[in-house]
């Protein structure tokens, strides 16, 4: 421009007089909100008799993203250069077509530029008037070069809006008796968001467990009791937002009847099932209570899974968040711990982040429970109420319009494009729709890009829908602004095409159409150097063509050619001929793109054609292409672990498992490498599949998986092995029903263990090989010593050490002696005898009679008649009993008379006598 004006001055004979100095100052606010916009006004002082002006404005594009410019209305016909705004460069060139010159008051705004703030809080950028890419040059009406003082200003990005963070519901975890801590997972924040960006999320633990850390408290070990977890989100402006919830760890089997509803996260618009669970439900004869919830969050549907026959539900006020339950069975029922007595089905109607406690209360029906004693005894009832928190794990949906092509007249460099709104929806609620512009036009905004000004070339419009939970979905389309072509004109074509992200020699052809009798050609080629790095040119078919490579680092190459061999006739090429190829290396990741455009920057597009032996300027059409960087090679995952098998940790129904994590690599850029579990996590019983997923910038995915199998190899422990037992027999039985307390066991996993037993000795029940399932109490044990063997077995088949004790049943009951009288006769010798059996009248014993004796048992003529005797009965235990009987002795044999002659002498009186004997 300066050369043109100086030449014009010499032709007109105008004298060159030195003018005063012009000052250019960017006026901008000292601070800007991180999610807002900034308008910079370019203010001129000393603008007197100015004939032409050109200069540039520079800024940091990582802090400010160009949006649009507004002409100040004081420089008619000014041309604005927006091609390099993505690199933080803007230019203006102006010539007063009247050549009268323009004078402006001090402080006049020449034009303004509006930016979207994209930098984080705390960052700053200088906005400066510079000579890049267009040199600073002012000419006055005397055709003098006017000195210019370029100014600058600085704006610092700030953030005064605190972030938001949503916690999960309060958590309740029940562990086995004796367990004092447990690892709790799945308690990360439900969502966190900030108007500008989250710098960090931290947590602190207070109460039963103390500690702190970054990101997510999942995987931490929580002690028995209630721990408060507080999450704090901090943004780049150091504003903070926090939320809290509790984790309660309690032991099963506390003694009182306990009613439990668990906490859970539920998806908005879905259904939720809440189990009402019991513990210590032993010999319960009746139960009643109420359940309350927030009807703005949960809508009652029905009940299911009823485990207590005959129960009644009161559903009249479920619309107000009340349900009553009542049940009775006079005989009483016993349920295993953690049994579900019924399930409440809800429809989730609350929004994301809302929550409702599903509370077991006494409103309107009081909490009451009785056992099956006679009369029934009222019981203490403990409750643990959980909370359902509404979350949203489903991405929104968004659809873009089809690619748009807009044609403008020759000389026009931009167009306002309308009717390009997206259609977005979400299963819950949509928080925002934003758009970004990349390529020929850059910028961003909210809702709809319709009405924005699009530059010549291809602009990619990306819409992003975000729901209230921070889930996002995106879609993209292109807006191509092209100039109307002149029929039959020479056309230059920048071909376009996809390039692999690791390409080191991507060949980009420059082709022609209607190349007829062309004698000279010059043009520029522009691209984004952050995407493609210039290597070289090749395949040149226009002899003598020259390439200007001085600015290829900034994405600019020039080409000029003169047909020295045929200056009057020119050269003709077939349509589609490649006149040369540009060789690039790809330096951007997959997903990036750049427009490769034939432009006037810095060398103007010009072509001449031989017409009647004279070169004549001819119109030139351009067709520009876009190169998309793609990645068709998936990542590689190395050292995927083998399957892992392990037993449970001591006292725990889980195992903390560690392994060496695999590594991932990619030929271009690895976007993410994540896993569903990490080394050091606690794993439950059974088989869990651990999957590592590597994703590259092209969306290619590679996975590796292995299984972690946790088995329960910890034996139960008998908790209350009885001492040896001794007792007497039951009346009239040779043994006794022996009762004692149930024998129980503890286990790291099972709350309800199987109890087996067998006995040896006086009483035999089962055997070591075929034990009996159940309790040995209340069985009939024979008199003598019985050895009882008891063990507990869990669901995994682990057996406890045997509990061994003896049950001794003593026979303490005397026999029953029954006598009968007996009559006996003396023999010829005058003797007789009896046995105990002779006088036994049917004596008995509860066990076995070991002996009987009678005394006296021998008789003579001296015992003729009734004689009392005593029968003594003895059993195996040495118990005795007696009874009395009468033994009648008879002499049933006649005497034998034997006579002898005798001689007697009369006495003095003449008498004599004899005796029988």
Per CATH, which fold does 814-917 belong to?
A: Immunoglobulin-like (2.60.40)
Do residues 225 and 111 lie in contact, with contact meaning Cβ atoms separated by under 8 Å?
no
Q: For the domain covering 636-711, report its CATH number.
A: 2.60.40
Do residues 873 and 817 lie in contact, with contact meaning Cβ atoms separated by under 8 Å?
yes
Task: Give me the residue label for tokens 């953690």.
Answer: 338
Do residues 552 and 509 lie in contact, with contact meaning Cβ atoms separated by under 8 Å?
no
Q: How far apart are CA 858 and CA 88, in angstroms?
A: 141
Rounded mean pLDDT for each run of 10 residues along the chain, 917 residues in total: 38 42 95 91 96 93 92 90 87 85 95 92 93 88 91 92 87 72 83 84 94 90 92 90 88 76 86 92 95 95 93 94 94 91 94 88 92 90 87 89 81 81 88 91 91 89 89 92 73 88 92 94 94 96 93 94 89 95 93 88 87 80 88 94 95 91 92 91 91 90 95 93 96 96 90 93 96 96 97 94 97 96 93 95 95 95 95 95 96 83 88 84
Return the CATH class of domain 717-729+746-810: mainly beta
**CA neighbours within 13 Å on the CB side: how many for 487?**
0
CA-CA distances (angstroms) from residue 653 to 180, 191, 681, 747, 793?
13, 31, 13, 9, 15
Position 8 scores a pLDDT of 37
Q: 83: how many CB neighbours lie within 10 A of its CB?
A: 23
Q: How far apart are CA 545 and CA 568, in angstroms?
A: 17
Q: Please list the helix, strand and coil fractions of the chain in percent, rounded to the nearest 5, in that order.
A: 5, 55, 45
Task: Give me the residue label for tokens 């003449």.
Answer: 910
Complete DSSP assignment for 415-436 = EEE-----EEE-SS-EEEEEEE
Q: What is the pLDDT of residues 651-681, one digit of tens each?
A: 888 899 999 999 999 998 888 999 999 999 9
Do residues 122 and 63 lie in contact, with contact meaning Cβ atoms separated by under 8 Å?
no
Structure tokens at 118: 């994209």
From 527, 497, 503, select the one nearest 668 (Cα to Cα). 503
Fold: same for 2-158 and 717-729+746-810: yes
Do residues 729 and 663 lie in contact, with contact meaning Cβ atoms separated by under 8 Å?
no
Superfamily, domain 162-251 = Immunoglobulins (2.60.40.10)
> Quick one: CA torsion of 593, 599, 600, 604, rounded to 10 degrees?
140
3-state SS, residue 7: helix
Position 288 scores a pLDDT of 96
Position 470 scores a pLDDT of 82
CA-CA distances (angstroms) from residue 158 to 235, 782, 789, 854?
11, 90, 77, 119
Do residues 61 and 187 lie in contact, with contact meaning Cβ atoms separated by under 8 Å?
no
Q: How far apart are CA 743 and CA 263, in angstroms?
A: 34
DSSP 642: P
Q: How far apart are CA 479 and CA 411, in angstroms?
A: 19
Return the CATH class of domain 487-630: mainly beta
Taking the alpha carbons at both ends of the chain, their separation in whole angstroms is 194
Strands 577-586 and 506-513, bridge-based pairing: antiparallel
Complete DSSP assignment for 191-253 = EEE-SS-EEEEEEEEEESS-EEEES--TTEEEESEEEEEEEEEEETT--EEEEEEEEEEEES-
Do residues 446 and 35 lie in contact, with contact meaning Cβ atoms separated by under 8 Å?
no
Q: How far apart are CA 440 and CA 453, in angstroms?
A: 11
Per CATH, which fold does 2-158 belong to?
A: Immunoglobulin-like (2.60.40)
Do residues 269 and 427 lie in contact, with contact meaning Cβ atoms separated by under 8 Å?
yes
Return the CATH class of domain 254-393: mainly beta
> Quick one: CA torsion of 783, 784, 785, 788, rounded to 10 degrees?
-20
pTM over 0.75: no
Do residues 477 and 449 lie in contact, with contact meaning Cβ atoms separated by under 8 Å?
no
Structure tokens at 791: 């063990």
Q: How far apart are CA 286 and CA 263, in angstroms?
A: 26
Position 11 scores a pLDDT of 33
Per-residue exposure over 629-640, b if at least 16 CB sit within 10 Å of its own CB, e if not:
bbbebbbbbeee
Position 661 scores a pLDDT of 95
Q: How far apart are CA 755 and CA 799, in angstroms?
A: 10
Q: Which CATH number fits domain 419-481: 2.60.40, 1.20.1440, 3.30.200, 3.40.50?
A: 2.60.40
Per-residue exposure over 470-481, b if at least 16 CB sit within 10 Å of its own CB, e if not:
ebebbbebbbbb
Name the residue ranges covered by the structural domains of the chain: 2-158, 162-251, 254-393, 419-481, 487-630, 636-711, 717-729+746-810, 814-917
């Amino acid at each position: 421009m300066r050369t043109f004006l100086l030449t014009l001055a010499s032709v007109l004979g105008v004298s060159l007089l030195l003018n005063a100095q012009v000052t250019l100052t960017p006026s901008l606010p000292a601070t800007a909100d991180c999610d807002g916009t900034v308008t910079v006004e370019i203010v001129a002082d000393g603008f007197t008799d100015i004939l032409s002006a050109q200069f540039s404005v520079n800024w940091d594009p990582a802090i400010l993203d160009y949006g649009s410019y507004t002409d100040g209305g004081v420089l008619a016909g000014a041309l604005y250069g927006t091609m390099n705004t993505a690199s933080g460069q803007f230019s203006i060139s102006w010539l007063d077509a009247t050549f009268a010159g323009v004078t402006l008051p001090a402080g006049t705004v020449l034009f303004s530029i509006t930016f979207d703030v994209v930098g984080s809080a705390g960052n700053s950028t200088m906005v400066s008037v510079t000579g890049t890419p267009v040199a600073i040059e002012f000419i006055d009406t005397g055709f003098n070069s006017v000195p210019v003082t370029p100014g600058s200003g600085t704006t610092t990005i700030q953030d005064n809006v605190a972030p938001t963070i949503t916690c999960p519901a309060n958590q309740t975890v029940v562990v086995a008796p004796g367990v004092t801590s447990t690892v709790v997972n799945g308690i990360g924040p439900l969502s966190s968001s900030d108007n500008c960006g989250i710098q960090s999320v931290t947590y602190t633990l207070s109460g039963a467990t103390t500690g702190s850390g970054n990101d997510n408290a999942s995987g931490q070990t929580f002690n028995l009791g209630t721990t408060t977890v507080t999450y704090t989100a901090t943004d780049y402006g150091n504003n903070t937002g926090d939320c809290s919830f509790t984790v309660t760890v309690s032991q099963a089997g506390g003694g009182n009847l306990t009613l439990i509803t668990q906490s859970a996260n539920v998806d908005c618009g879905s259904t939720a099932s809440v189990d009402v669970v019991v513990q210590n439900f032993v010999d319960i004869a009746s139960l009643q209570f109420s359940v309350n919830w927030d009807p703005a969050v949960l809508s009652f549907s029905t009940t299911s899974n009823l485990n207590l026959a005959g129960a009644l539900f009161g559903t009249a006020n479920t619309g107000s968040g009340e349900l009553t339950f009542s049940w009775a069975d006079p005989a009483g029922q016993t349920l295993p711990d953690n049994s579900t007595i019924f399930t409440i089905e809800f429809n989730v109607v609350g929004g994301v982040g809302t929550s409702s406690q599903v509370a077991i209360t006494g409103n309107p029906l009081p909490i009451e429970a009785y056992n099956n004693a006679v009369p029934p005894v009222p019981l203490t009832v403990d409750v643990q109420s959980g909370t359902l928190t509404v979350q949203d794990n489903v991405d929104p949906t968004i659809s873009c319009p089809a690619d748009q092509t807009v044609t403008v007249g020759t000389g026009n460099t931009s167009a306002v494009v309308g009717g390009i709104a997206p259609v977005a929806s979400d299963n819950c609620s949509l928080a925002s729709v934003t758009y970004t512009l990349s390529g020929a036009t850059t910028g961003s905004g909210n809702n709809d890009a319709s009405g924005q000004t699009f530059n010549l070339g291809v602009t990619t419009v990306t819409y992003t829908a975000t729901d209230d939970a921070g889930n996002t979905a995106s879609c993209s389309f292109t807006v191509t602004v092209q100039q109307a072509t002149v029929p039959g004109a020479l056309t230059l074509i920048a071909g376009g095409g996809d390039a692999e992200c690791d390409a080191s020699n991507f060949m980009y052809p420059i082709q022609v159409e209607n190349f007829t009798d062309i004698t000279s050609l010059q043009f520029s080629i522009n691209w984004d150097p952050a995407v493609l790095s210039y290597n070289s040119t090749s395949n040149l078919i226009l002899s003598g063509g020259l390439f200007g490579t001085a600015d290829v680092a900034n994405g600019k190459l020039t080409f000029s050619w003169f047909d020295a061999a045929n200056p009057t006739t020119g050269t003709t090429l077939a349509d589609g001929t490649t006149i040369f190829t540009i060789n690039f290396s790809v330096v951007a990741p997959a997903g990036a793109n750049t427009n490769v455009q034939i432009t006037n920057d810095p060398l103007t597009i010009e072509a001449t054609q031989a017409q009647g032996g004279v070169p004549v300027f001819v119109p030139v059409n351009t067709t520009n292409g876009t190169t998309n960087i793609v990645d068709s090679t998936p990542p590689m995952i190395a050292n995927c672990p083998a399957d892992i098998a392990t037993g449970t940790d001591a006292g725990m129904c889980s195992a903390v498992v560690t392994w060496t994590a695999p590594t991932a690599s990619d030929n271009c850029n690895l976007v993410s490498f994540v896993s569903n579990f990490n080394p050091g996590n606690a794993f439950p019983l059974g088989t869990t599949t651990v999957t590592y997923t590597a994703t590259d910038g092209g969306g290619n995915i590679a996975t590796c998986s292995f299984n972690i199998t946790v088995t329960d190899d910890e034996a139960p422990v008998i908790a209350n092995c009885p001492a040896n037992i001794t007792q007497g027999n039951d009346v009239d039985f040779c043994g006794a029903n022996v009762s004692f307390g149930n024998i129980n066991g503890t286990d790291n996993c099972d709350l309800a263990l199987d109890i087996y037993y067998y006995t040896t000795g006086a009483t035999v029940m089962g055997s070591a090989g075929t034990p009996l399932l159940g309790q040995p109490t209340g069985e009939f044990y024979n008199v003598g010593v019985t050895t009882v063997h008891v063990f507990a077995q869990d669901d995994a088949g682990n057996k406890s050490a045997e509990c061994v004790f003896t049950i001794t049943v003593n026979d303490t009951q005397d026999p029953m002696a029954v006598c009968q009288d007996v009559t006996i006769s003396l023999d010829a010798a005058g003797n007789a005898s009896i046995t105990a059996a002779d006088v036994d009248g049917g004596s008995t014993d509860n066990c076995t009679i070991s002996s009987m004796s009678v005394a006296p048992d021998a008789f003579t003529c001296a015992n003729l008649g009734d004689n009392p005797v005593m029968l003594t009965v003895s059993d195996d235990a040495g118990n005795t009993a007696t009874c009395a009987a009468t033994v009648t002795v008879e002499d049933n044999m006649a005497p034998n008379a034997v006579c002898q002659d005798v001689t007697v002498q009369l006495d003095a009186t003449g008498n004599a006598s004899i005796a029988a004997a």
